Amino acid sequence: MEAHTRLTQSFPSDSAILVEGPDEVVLTFSTDVRLTAISLLGPGGELKKLGPLPEKMDQNISLVMQEKFAPGDYLLTWRAVGADTHLVSGEIHFSVLGSSSSPSVRVFPEP
Q: Are 83 and 100 in contact (CB under 8 A)?
A: no
Instruction: Measure CA 84 to chain center.
Output: 23
Name the nearest CA neighbour of 54 among 68, 71, 37. 37
CB of residue 10 to another protein, shortest distance in Å = 14
CB of residue 86 to another protein, shortest distance in Å = 7
Among 9, 15, 60, 77, binds another protein (CB under 8 A): 77
**Which spans of this chain sit near another protein (rule: CB under 8 A)?**
1-4, 34, 36-37, 55, 77-79, 81, 83-87, 89-91
